Chain A
Amino acid sequence: MAASVRYLLKPWTPSLCFVRWSRYNPYYLDPDPSKDAVPESELSPEQKELQELKTVRPIKAALSSDTSSPFNDPLMSKFINMMMEDGNKILARGIMTQTLETIKRRQVEKYHKSPAAKREEVECNPYAIFHQALENCKPIIGLASVQKGGKFYQVPVPLTDNRRRFLAMKWLITECRDNKHRRTHMYEKLSQELLAAFANEGNVVKRKQDLHKMAEANRAYAHYRWW
């Protein structure tokens, strides 16, 4: 009874807060949240042009998840957003932190167990492992469904960088959600998959290889593309 009454006394905060709208006029430039400024002499002519453009053109508002700290990693942010469900960013970030910790623990254990000669090969930085694992999961060629003469053919097609990154992350997340024992936590399974992908093994890399094999099998239809 007292708790319900006390609830009425807390200060009013708006339940909705404004969020940066994602659709901007293409005239607007992307923000750069990093603090370190490269000195003028080290910039290439294109980068100098970009700097000059930034003084003239309007810039989009920064997302609340983009910080100027050195720990801000856009790839990591994208992965966390993809893992997030129902807007529960706290849970997604927690899972990611636990994953990185598990990876670090495993690698440090491996480091100490290995002989002195092999110690330098063991990668202990979980961020480096994450980046390399994602690179190993990215497909190079994809398949597109093209209609020709009433039938649909799977045509090998080059993919854009964004599409490749998206596919790698999607495969990783679906693999970790579906193919696990019901009692293993997400972070455990994710860490296992990331370490396997880092070593070019595991189900995600196998899925990428299967896609490549399908593309290779259908290479005769490559001319059905018109773009």
Chain B
Amino acid sequence: MSGSAIQDKVARLLSKQYGKPAMKAAKPLALKNEVANRKLKKGEATCVTEMSLLMACWKQNDFNNALCSKEVSTFYTCVEKAQIKAKGQQGTQGRLLPKEANTLLKRFPNLASEI
């Protein structure tokens, strides 16, 4: 669909010439110079198994951290790995991140009017 065809269709939808208009333009029918922030994948809780092991150890040893040092260290390593993974995942899918897209659009916006 070319640009002018879209404009014609919109004009026909809004016109009152052929009875009631099909739609009301509450907001201006133009793209904004920013993109919505959203994450496609819904994440999941990381390190739950290590946490449950640690809590089992605590239950056994009455919350004495000296006796549970091994579980504690495994939990910390798991948390570190999860953090590194979360950081690395962000920009590698091939798509532009919403934040980056917004920065670029701010620098090179779609001009709505000539000033």
Contacts and interface: CB of A to CB of B under 8 A. Distances in A.
Interface of A: 140-141, 156, 158, 160, 200, 209, 212-213, 215-216, 219, 222-227
B44 interface: yes
A223 B55 contact: no
A69 to B, nearest CB: 32
B45 A226 contact: yes
Contacts of B42: 226
Interface of B: prevailing SS: helix
B55 A219 contact: yes
Interface string B80-93: 00110010000000
B86 A215 contact: no
Interface in B31-55: 42-48, 51-52, 54-55
Contact of B63 (A212, A223, A225): A212
Interface residues of B, number: 22
12 contacts: A140-B65, A209-B63, A212-B58, A212-B63, A216-B55, A222-B51, A222-B52, A225-B44, A225-B45, A226-B43, A227-B43, A227-B46
B58 A216 contact: yes
B20 interface: no
Contacts of A219: 51-52, 55
B59 interface: yes
Contacts of B66: 200
Contacts of A209: 63
The 4 closest A-B CB pairs, nearest first, are: A225-B45, A226-B43, A158-B79, A216-B55
Contacts of B45: 222-227
Nearest to B46: A227
Interface in B2-35: none
A140 B55 CA distance: 11
Contacts of A222: 45, 48, 51-52
Contact of B51 (A158, A224, A226, A227): A158
Contact of B54 (A140, A223, A225): A140
Nearest to A226: B43
B101 interface: no
Given A158-B75, A212-B58, A226-B44, A141 B51 contact: yes
Contact of A216 (B44, B59, B65): B59
A193 B2 CA distance: 75
A179 B51 CA distance: 33
A217 to B, nearest CB: 10
Contacts of A160: 83
B97 interface: no
A222 B55 CA distance: 12
Contacts of B46: 158, 225, 227
Contacts of A226: 42-45
A156 B51 contact: yes
Interface in B55-75: 55, 58-59, 63, 65-66, 72, 75
